[in-house]
Structure 1
Amino acid sequence: MNLLENSLYKEDIEYILGKELPWEKIKGKSFLISGATGLIGSCLIDALTCFEEREKSGIKIYAIGRSKEKIANRFNPDIVTAIEQDVNKPFMDEIKSVKADYVLHLASNTHPMQYSTDPIGTIMTNLIGLNNMLEISTDAERFMFASSVEIYGENRGDVDRFDESYLGYIDCNTVRAGYPEGKRAGESLCQSYIKQKGMDIVIPRLSRTYGPTMLWSDTKAISQFIKKGVDGEDIVLKSEGTQLFSYSYVADAVTGLLYVLLLGENGGAYNIADEASDIALKDLAAIIADYAGKKVIFELPDATEAAGYSKATKAILDSAKLKALGWSAGYDMKKGLERTIDILKAN
């Protein structure tokens, strides 16, 4: 079943399109989006596609991914043009010729197994890949770089929540550091392009995001838990589960991106998170286990898995800056998790 044929997922798209946003700003515009088939990129493109199917304003979406066939099979070809490209490699003329109004760099290695097995690619997507995207976007109306909660590093114990000015400790001499340090350097690169080339750039900082558009290869803890819940198996927790993090259901993450894209200020960074989705890992696992009628079991990770895990024990985001733009979340943790499992089971 195509996700857009699923009634619950269609409700998610309606929820996104029902937000009080200046939708007139995107009518007839063109979008260039990397990471098009990822967790967040695919949901965003679904929402933009559904908007265009209704409004018929002339929106065009150029979707970048590593598989042209996968993109073409996933989205409406009348609206979405598939472009096969590794963003870390020199760009083909097909991409260089695109004159997009909005450019969104969403591509990134985003889960532990990728961090430990492809640490070079993890860093370079947020440096070389980002630079490649910026270089062809100097005339764009606005550029977006999707950053992460990981840029805050470890909580030094001096604050309860991270606001956009906080910077915690990161040990850069580890393989795992490639992701947060890459995002930090990427944000700095964006500020350099604003200063030197006069670009308009916004930076959403995503909390840990989940939802029915997740890739089945995703090795994040929450994704592993969800897969077990879908398959009706016990939830395997590879730690004591005391880590306290902020999460976002993908539909809320996408609305956050849209608020930042359409209402954020040039150069601004914005946390995307909501207090109703702040939860300890063991409690998150328990919600899924209870819904699946199973139990939580504890198991030690192997060396490769452990190398990709975050050492942070508390990463709770302050989203007051985004909420000041009018954003609010619609899904708490329990609702989002149960919804994700239901949609994935049906598909």
Structure 2
Amino acid sequence: MNHKILQESADDSILQEDLDRISESDIPLEELKGKTVLVTGATGLIGSLLVKALQCCNRRKETGIKILALVRNQEKAERLFGDLLKREDLKLVIGDITMPVAVEDKIDYIIHCASITTSKIMISRPVDVIRTSLNGTENLLELAKEKQVRSMVYVSSMEMYGVLNLQDDQMVTEEMTGYLNPLALRSNYPESKRMCENMCVAYGTQYEVPVKIARLAQTFGAGVLPGENRVFAQFARSAMKGSDIVLHTEGKSEGNYCYTADAVRALLTILVKGENMQAYNVVNEKSHITIADMAKFVAEKIAEKPIEVVFDIPKENKFGYASDTKMHLAATRLMALGWQPETDLEESYRRLIASMKNRNV
């Protein structure tokens, strides 16, 4: 067989190292052996890495997992996965999650990653954000009920916490919730995430759907996709180009981060070992820093040439950034399942940039 077909990321040695490490980690692969896993949002960052990680487990560990990748755009999926689609363990399912999802295959597990995460779209197309979240999640829960799956993970967001009134050094656990203004346009994303979480609990209670919730922190690292424009990618490109980092806010929000490979391991751990109708923060507790301090960190420690942090704050929030938040997520519940983060913030950036260079992203 062609070597390129064997490797899940032949064009990116950094990402391939991550995928190999995931396959060799202590995730409970025995539970998934010979089973079928449906991944939604499979052309997104987390979804695509889950697909590639499961394929890597098949190649290295002979786990025989069948992967169904649910995507809207077949051409985009073919560009992203390339020769990986020639392997028998991966099948594309073409469909829009806002419509009822029809899958003929048996499904044992579902990881529901599909979501609109671009801040500008939250401002320009808020109805689409809500419709994708609510209709999409209901359709996947219906599918999980129909197929009588062994387990499902709904990928939520740390944004669902809203604005919390915290004491100094108080960490945010899964039982907490803060204030969200329903009349603020940008609330469409976190409000819909909250409603989807409650929908998971409703389906779990009324129909016994074995669903778990993963509240993702900002996740980045090797494997970021072309066109990625979230803050971490903007900072990385500035460091690579030797250009100043431009902030459009004061950068007071506290960011919580997790490396991509650590997040993939976390989702697979929650899928197999998590408690039904329970939420888990997916975060590296030590990768906690304000946006402004992270910009300074990248400028001083990561950039190869001297660059500065420049503030250019518009009068209106035309970029759709979330309001300033003070939040330090705790990963205690997830770590109790046996998961541990392996990659700190500095190494996350170095691997991110090396991966971006490999693929000219």
Same-fold status (TM-score > 0.5):
yes
Is the 2:29–2:63 contact (alpha carbons within 8 Å) kept by the matching residues of 1?
Answer: no
Q: Per the alignment, in what secondary structure is the counterpart of residue 318 of structure 2? A: helix
Q: Of residues 284, 289, 298 in structure 2, which corresponds to 1:274?
A: 284
| Distance (whole Å) between structure 1 residues aligned to residue 72 and residue 327 of structure 2 | 31
Partner of 2:60: 54
Are 2:104 and 1:104 aligned? no
Task: Show the counterpart of 2:159.
Answer: 150
Q: Structure 1 215/301 Cα, relative in aligned 2: closer, same or farther at 3 Å?
A: farther
Letter in 1 for 2:337: L
CA-based RMSD of the aligned residues comes to: 1.9
Q: Distance in 2 between matches of 1:325 and 1:187?
A: 20
Aligned equivalents of 1:156, 1:124: Cα separation in 2: 30
Aligned equivalent of 1:300, options 313, 330, 333: 313
Deviations 1:194-213 (A, max 9, x none): 11111101111111111233
Higher mean alpha-carbon deviation, 139-148 vs 80-89, is at 80-89
Quote the offset at 1:97 in angstroms.
Answer: 1.5
Give the corresponding residue for 2:192. Answer: 182
TM-aligned CA deviation for residue 90 of structure 1 = 3.7
What is the letter of the counterpart of residue 318 of structure 2?
A: E
Aligned 8 A contact 1:111 1:218 in 2? no
SS of 1:54's equivalent in the other structure is helix
1:310-325 residue pairs with structure 2 within 5 A? 310-325=322-337
For 1:97, the aligned partner's letter is E
Q: Deviations over 1:68-87 (max 9, x none)?
A: 12223333122221122221
Aligned pair count? 343
Shift, 1:263, TM fit = 0.9
- What residue identity is the alignment partner of 1:324? A
**Runs of 5+ unmatched residues, structure 1:** none
2:354 corresponds in structure 1 to 342
Structure-2 residue corresponding to 1:74? 80
- TM superposition score normalised by structure 2: 0.90
Q: Is the 8 A contact 1:202 1:261 kept in 2?
A: yes
Matched ranges for 1:157-236 at <5 A:
157-158=166-167, 160-236=170-246
TM superposition shift of 1:302: 6.9
Return the letter of the residue paired with 1:112.
Answer: S
Change (3 A) 1:115 1:298: same
1:196-254 CA-to-partner distances (Å, cap 9, x unmatched) read 11110111111111123333434432232223333332211112222212111111111
**What CA distance in whole angstroms lies between the structure 2 residues aligned with 1:263 and 1:115?**
33
**How far apart are residue 158 of structure 1 and its match?**
4.2
SS in 1 for 2:178: coil
Contact 1:246-1:278 within 8 A present in 2 as well: yes
Deviation, structure 1 residue 133: 1.0
Mark the CA change 1:267 to 1:343 in structure 2 (over 3 Å): closer, same or farther.
same
* Superposed counterparts of 1:104-123, under 5 Å: 104-123=111-130
The SS at the match of 1:314 is coil
Residue 286 of structure 1 contacts residue 296 of structure 1 at CA under 8 Å; is this kept in 2? yes
AA at the equivalent of 2:190? P
| Identity among equivalent pairs (%) | 35
Whichever residue aligns with residue 275 of structure 1, its letter is E
Determine if contact 1:29/1:60 at 8 Å carries over to the other structure.
Answer: yes
Partner Cα separation in structure 2 for residue 339 and residue 305 of structure 1: 31
Who is 1:133 aligned against? 140
Separation (CA, whole Å) in 2 of partners of 1:40 and 1:210: 9
Return 263-272 or 72-81, whichever deviates more.
72-81
Query: What per-residue deviation string (whole Å, max 9, x for no partner) do you get for residues 280-336 of structure 1?
Result: 111211232232222211112474634x21113212101111111111111111110
Residues 38 and 213, structure 1, Cα contact 8 Å, conserved in 2: no
The answer (yes or no) to whether the contact 1:67–1:84 under 8 Å persists in 2 is yes
